[in-house]
Each structure stands twice: as C-alpha cells, then as structure tokens.
Amino acid sequence: MKQPFFANRPLIENEFEQAIFDPSTGISPDELLLTLKEMCDAPTDEARPIVFAKAFAYLLDNVQLQINEHTPFSVKFNLGIDYTEFATKSILQIAVSPQKSRVRAEKLPQEYAQYRNFASVGLDWMMVDFTHTVPNWDYLLKYGFAGILQNARDSREKLSATEAPQSERLVFLDSVILCYEAIIRLLERIYAYSLRFDLPEFSKCIKNLSTRPPETLYEVMMFSVLYLYFEEAGVERARSLGPIDRLYLPYLEADRKRGMAEEEIQDLFRYYFIHFTAAKRFAEQPFTICGSDKDGKDLTCELSHMILDIYDEMDIYDPKIHLRCHKALDERILKKAARIISDGHNSICLINDEAVYRGYERLGIPREESQNYVISGCYEPIIMGREEAEICAMRFNTVKCVEFALNGGKDIMTGIRAGLASKTDIESFDELFEIFLQQLDYCTDFALDFIEKQGRYSTLINPSPIYSSSFAECIENGKDVHEYPLAYNNLSLKHHGLATTVDSLVAVKKFVFDNKEVSLEEIRQILAHDWQGYEELQARITSNTEKYGNNRPLPDQIMSDILEHIADRYCGKELARGGKVRLGLDSVYHCIKHGEKTSATPNGRNATTPISKNLCATDGMDRGGITAYMQSLLKIDFSAFLDGAPFDFMLHPSAVEGEKGLDDFVSLIKIFLSCGGFAMQGNVVGGETLKAAQLHPEKYATLQVRVCGWNEYFVKLSKLKQDMFIRQCEVMGG
C-alpha cells in the first residue's frame, strides 16, 4: 500500500460500522440466514460435519462483499455481525445455535435439567467453548489455504484405503475439503471483484493466497485477516494472532531484501492494527510478543520493539498485547511497556513466563513444549499447535457455596435446593468451613461431569473444520480438534467471587463464632431480609478491616485454604477422555451476572449487587493500597491456576508520573514477576477523571478502562460498572 497510513486513518478506523456492501456481490444476511437455518435444521441423514460444511460453503459462495480502497486489507464480508455492539455471532452461528440446546436436552436430559437448575440460581455458567481458539499459525502459514486443501485431499486418499466410506474420519476430511474449496472459490470471487478497482497489490495478494502460502509480510497479514473471518463465519473465534514478532520476522526480512522501505513496512503494521481497532470484536483481538525459551533465553527481537513503538504511536487499545515477561526480558521492552501503560494505554497485559511454565509443569508438560505458549483471550495460555484447553468451559460462583453452607444447600432468593443437603445446626467455624468445602466439591463435581459428558457431543453441537484444519494432527488423522487428537486436550474450570467468599467466611467467624455478637440463625434471617433493620451491624461488618486484599493474615489464610483445596482436588485431574483439568480464577462480567442472583452475604454485601471480580478485593475493600493487595495475591500458589489469575491494579497517574514514577512502576512489575505473580494488568486513571466522565460523558467519549482482559469505553458502561471503577480508584489511591 503506497498510500501513507495517517492520511487514510480517518477513512478506515470506523470502516466496519460504516461498511456498505455491494448488493450485486451476493445475498443479504437476512436472506442468507433463512436458507442457513433450513440447511442446519432440516432432517437429514447426512453427518453433522457435512451439514455444517455445506452451510459454510453456501455462506461463502453468497456472502456480500465490500472493497475499501483506503486500506490494503480492503475486503469485508457481510456476515451479519453488528460490529458496533461487540456482537460476535455470524449468521451461521445463529443458524447452528439451536443445536446446542437440542443436543444437551436429547443426549444429557438429567444433567441438562440440573445444569439449568444451577444456572437459574447463579451458581455457574457452562459452555462448549469455541470462542477461545488458538490455531496453529505455524502450520497455517506454512501451507496456506490451497496447501491445507491439498493436505486434506491427500489425507483423505490415504485414509480411504483403510476407512469405511462413511467413517467419521473421512466425513471430517470431506467437511474440511468442502470448506476449503469454498474458501478458494471465495478468494477467486474477491479477486475478480477487485479488478473493478485500481488495487493491483491487493488483487495480486488475493490471487497468490488462492494458490500458494503467503510469502510476503503483506500476504501473511492478509492471510491472518482472512483466516479470522473464516473462523468467525463458522462457529469459532480465533483469540490470538499468535506470537507475531516471531511469526512475521522472516517475512519482514525477506521484504527488506526485496527492497521494501522501512516506512512502508511500518505503515503496513499500522494498517494491520487499525483493521482490528475498526472491527471492535468482543474483548478485542489479542496477539503475543516477546517471551523466553525453555532455557530462559530472551526471544525479544527487533520486531517486538517495532510493534510496541507503532502501537504506542497509534494510541489504540485493539488489538491488545500479551507481553510475555521473564527475568531476562530486554529492559527497554519492559520500560517501554510500562510507560505505555502509565500513559493510560492499558490494553497491554503482562504475563509471567515462569508462572506459566510452572503451571504446565504441574500438569506434567515440560518447558520444551510450554515455551511455545501464547495467550488466548484474556490471560489463558495455550501451547500453540499442541494444546486445546476449552478455556471458558465453566465459571463457578463460589459465593453461592457460602449461601448453601449456611442454609443446608438452599438458594435463598429462589428457595430451590440447588446445593448439597447439609446440616444447619453448625457449632463452629471449622464445621461451617468444612460444609462450605463440601458444597464447593458437590457443585464443581457436577459441573466437571457435565462438561466432560457434553464434550462427547462437541462435533455434533459444532463441528470445527476451519479451526481443526490448522493442526497437522487433525488433517493426518481425520479428526476434529474436539475429538482430541492433539498432544494435550485439556479442560478449564474457573472459580470466581473468591474475595466475597473469603470476606463472608471471615465475617461469620468473627461476628458469629468468635465474638458471638449474633447467632447463626440470626445471620440467616438478616441475610434473607437483605440487612433490613440491621444496617448498623452491616456497617460495622463492612468497615471491619479483616478483608481479603489487604495483606491480613486471617483472610489471606482462608483464601489459601480454599484455593489449596480446589487445587488439590481438581488441578491436573485426569479426564476420562484424556487430558487434564486446568484451573483459573478470573470472572469477567460474571461477577455482575452471578451477583444479580446471589442473596445478601455475611460480609455486608446487599443482595443482587456484584460479587468480587477476578482476584480483586471485594468492591472498595482494598484499603491497604496496591502493595498490600499484591502481597495478599502473591501468597497464592499460581502453579495450580494456569487458566488465568490476574492482578488487576488501579493507579492514579500521579503515582507513575515522571522518570521516577516510571522507574518505580517498573520495579513494582519486576517484584510481582520475581515473586511468581501470574499476570498483571490495570488502569492508570484518576478517580476525579472518572467522576468527571460520569457527569460529562460527552467530553470523555474516548476514555477507556480495563474491564477484565479487555477494555471498554468508560462512558458506555452502566452506572453500576462505572461506580465500581470509581470506588476502586478511590481506595487504591486513584
């Protein structure tokens, strides 16, 4: 693209919202959806992967196109996705979605009923997670679209010598072939359409990608953009562009040898990044940079620096960066990242290689393998090309187990006995804690069992020919990735709401059992009536300093006890279908969703209000400041929680201002990493700024805050969420 980026930026940074598709190039999404629903729902003898592949091919053959002449990544597809609302569903996803409930109800009727029971009381949330895929970019870039099609055809020919004609393996390969034939047809269609425009480089790039693997930086970026579209058009969501510094460096060097100018290279990256900024995909589009190899050698390269410099200069938050940190990391990179974060550009998440390596070692996976991890989604590592981990299979509200423990397994707001029937004449805190753990085990056991059983039907719910095609193991063995052909086929459970759980248990210990200010029965009644008439007690409990996140021995010990229990019971647990259980502790927005269905809690929280987020202190309770919070967190053995356990910080800009502030911030990061912390992300913003933005949203339209593993515009958050940020800001020195 010879056109300078900055002249075109205003014309492309909102291009997805402003896209006008050419009706002559295909069928509208509404009409496509009707046909796709018929194709996906009609009774048929065809195997589900073939049904899906035919629907996918129909979509690609008929989807409307748009060409934007102001960007080298010119083409867009009218998949019916509303990119302005962080929506994720393409029309094909909508068409196939009834299948999930249908399969669950038909194949697992009893479990599905219990699952709905749990979900109705806000205990947990379980899904078949197709939205956190990490394709094997090495394989994809090596073969390209045409090469993968050829590999699938070759494999089919080879396997057909031994397999029955309608075997699952051949069916899978047939589905891949159908999909890739459709991809090649689409590329040819784009090429033909592009000739109407004066875009010779684009046309050539598309033409080349229809016949061979990418060979230039432009082609490799275009390939990635297109592949993401194809997963998105199906049912998945590729949640990492991979380690793009390592992946793209050979192409960059080759382009330089061919005489490509530095400014042109940098502009290409600018166009590439702004493509994702404009797409506004839910939770942003991540990629990973830097890291260490198995021996601790720094993998930072020239491109790592260039990427950070360009990212900084562009003042964007999407795509987001997962920066793999370690003790040998180039000091300039860490300082650069710290400065970008302290300037308020908060979509850089720092991941600790050592913590990740130890997490994999606990699962029996050596560093030779885990060194190739990238982060999928928010904080979850995946060994690219070797592992599938069903990242968000379950999110579990641990606060519910306090409620169940106090009430014999009964949910207070609905009256449903969703938990384990347990005794209510509890005589000591130890007894209560034991019952709490029993409730936790009962509910988690069920969830794990349900997810495992559900996994048997993954390919019936959502065949994954596109994602699977990125793995040699899938192509060579004729297996969908959800039939577990990879080296490591793990599954993830996430427990959240932990600070609210801990604070609640501490409150019962102190006010019921130690000080005997109130009886257990009275507490039950008080919570059932949402503290009405007991506001003074509520205020005293709330202001009590024994809260998680303040480096206090009692709450930190209870947190450790709970996490050790979860880790001992579930971390690395062997799955019947092969693979192991990974654990995580992040909540995303389930701290709000689950809070809405959770009655008042003994820590002074009112019913329906949010429970604690990620590993954060309960809202507004981290009064000891960032260092106390960090010390509480660092008491956790993160090796058991590979699936994400972030340290969310909130700092006032004055705390990181100037050279000294930056140096101290870098020290803070290094201390966190050297003490075994897992991941670090946060906001550098003042409470006064957030309050002003709440009052005058029109003046702060571009102000962003780190929500969980992603950013959102502060002024677009609900008042409830805005207030949570303001409170956190105020207590954490913001």
CA distances from 597 to 397, 535, 646 (A): 10, 21, 25
The one-character DSSP state at 510 is I
CB of 714 to another protein, least distance (A): 22
Q: Which stretch binds another protein (CB under 8 A): 135-143, 158-166, 293-301, 649-657?
A: 649-657
The answer to whether 657 contacts another protein (rule: CB under 8 A) is yes
Options 243, 408, 644, 661; binder of another protein; rule CB under 8 A: 661
Of 39-47, 194-202, 214-222, 648-656, the segment contacting another protein by CB under 8 A is 648-656
Angle at 371 (CA atoms; ends 567, 353), nearest 5 degrees: 60
Locate 323 and state its tokens.
């920066």
Please say whether the beta carbons of 525 and 475 come within 8 A: no
Per CB under 8 A, the list member of 209, 365, 447, 655 interacting with another protein is 655
C-beta of 509 vs 652, nearer to another protein: 652
Query: CA-CA distances (angstroms) from residue 624 to 143, 506, 550?
Result: 54, 17, 5
75 strand-pairing partners = 67
Segment near another protein (CB under 8 A); pick from 24-32, 92-100, 466-474, 653-661: 653-661
Stretch 535-554 residues interacting with another protein (CB under 8 A): 535-536, 538-540, 543, 551
What's the distance, CA 398 to chain centroid? 20
Instruction: Please report where in the chains the tokens 């046309």 appear, as a residue.
Output: 203
Cα separation, 565 vs 400, whole angstroms: 17
Q: Where are the beta strands (DSSP E) in 447-522?
A: 488-489, 491-496
Q: Which regions of 31-127 does DSSP assign to beta strands (E)?
A: 65-67, 75-77, 124-126
Give the ranges where 511-551 is alpha helix by DSSP (H): 520-528, 535-543
Give the closest residue to 694 by CA, choosing from 666, 730, 645: 730
DSSP class of residue 545 equals S
Q: Work out how close the CB of 610 gets to another protein at its nearest, in angstroms, rounded to a whole number.
A: 20
Q: How far is the CB of 539 from another protein (least distance, A)?
A: 3
Per-residue interface string for the shown chain with another protein, residues 110-149, x marking contact by CB under 8 A = ----------------------------------------
Residue type (1 letter), 330: D
Measure the CA dihedral 113/117/122/126, to 10°. -20
- The least distance separating another protein from the CB of residue 288, rounded to whole angstroms, comes to 26
Contacts of 212 (CB under 8 A, 6+ apart): 144, 146, 147
User: Which tokens in the block code for residue 296?
Assistant: 């601790």
Q: Does 14 bind another protein (CB under 8 A)?
A: no
User: Is residue 625 within 8 Å of residue 732, measured between CB atoms?
Assistant: yes
Nearer to another protein, 329 or 707 (CB): 329
Distant-in-sequence, close-in-space partners of 215: CB < 8 Å, separation ≥ 6: 208, 251, 254
- Closer to another protein by CB, 530 or 643: give it: 530
User: Is 525 or 543 the residue whose CB approaches another protein more closely?
Assistant: 543
How many residues bind to another protein according to rule CB under 8 A?
Answer: 29
Is 113 buried (19+), middle (13-18) or exposed (0-12) by CB count in 10 A? exposed
Reduced to 3 states, what is the DSSP secondary structure of residue 374?
A: strand
Q: How far is the CB of 627 from another protein (least distance, A)?
A: 5
Nearer to another protein by Cβ, of 235 and 338: the residue is: 338
Q: How far apart are CB 623 and another protein at their closest, in Å?
A: 11
Q: Rank residues 44 and 674 by Cβ distance to another protein and give the closer one.
A: 674
Q: How far is the CB of 607 from another protein (least distance, A)?
A: 18
Is the CB of residue 571 less than 8 Å from the CB of residue 581? yes
Query: Which region, judged by CB under 8 A, interacts with another protein, from 106-114, 188-196, 327-335, 666-674?
Result: 666-674
At 87, is the secondary structure helix, strand, or coil? Answer: coil
The binding track of 667-696 with respect to another protein, each residue x by CB under 8 A or -, is xx-xx--xx---------------------
Cβ of residue 664: shortest distance to another protein, in angstroms? 5
Name the minimum Å distance from CB 138 to another protein: 37
Q: Report the residue from 188, 431, 564, 664 that binds another protein according to the rule CB under 8 A.
A: 664
Please state, in angstroms and rounded to a whole number, the distance separating the CA atoms of residues 360 and 84. Answer: 38
Q: What's the min distance (Å) between Cβ of 484 and another protein?
A: 43
Quote the DSSP letter at residue 580.
Answer: B
Buried b / exposed e along 671-709 (16+ C-beta atoms within 10 A): ebbeeebbbbbbbbbbbebbeebbeeeeebeebbbbbbb
Compute the least distance from the CB of residue 694 to another protein, in Å: 17
Comparison of 534 and 710: residue with beta carbon closer to another protein: 534
Nearest distance from residue 661's CB to another protein, in Å? 6
Identity of the residue, 241 or 630, whose beta carbon is nearer to another protein in the bound complex: 630
- Cβ proximity to another protein, 302 vs 688, nearer residue: 688
Closer to another protein by Cβ: residue 223 or 638: 638
Q: Please identify which residue in 147, 572, 697, 733 interacts with another protein, judged by CB under 8 A.
A: 733
Enumerate residues 145-204 that contact another protein by CB under 8 A. Answer: none
Using CB under 8 A as the binding rule, the residues of this chain from 576 to 635 that contact another protein are 624-628, 631
Which range of residues in 146-154, 294-302, 431-439, 650-658 is near another protein by CB under 8 A? 650-658
Taking the least distance from each CB to another protein, the nearer of 386 and 540 is 540
Distance CA 442, CA 199 (A): 61
Q: Does 532 bind another protein (CB under 8 A)?
A: no
Sort strands 65-67 and 75-77 into parallel, antiparallel or unpaired.
antiparallel
Q: Does residue 10 have a cis bond before it (omega within 30 degrees)?
A: no
Assess contact for 450 and 437: CB atoms under 8 A: no
The binder of another protein chosen from 101, 102, 658, 701 (CB under 8 A): 658
Rg (CA), the chain: 26
Q: Please give the residue ranges that form the binding site for another protein (CB under 8 A).
A: 535-536, 538-540, 543, 551, 624-628, 631, 654-658, 660-661, 663-664, 667-668, 670-671, 674-675, 733
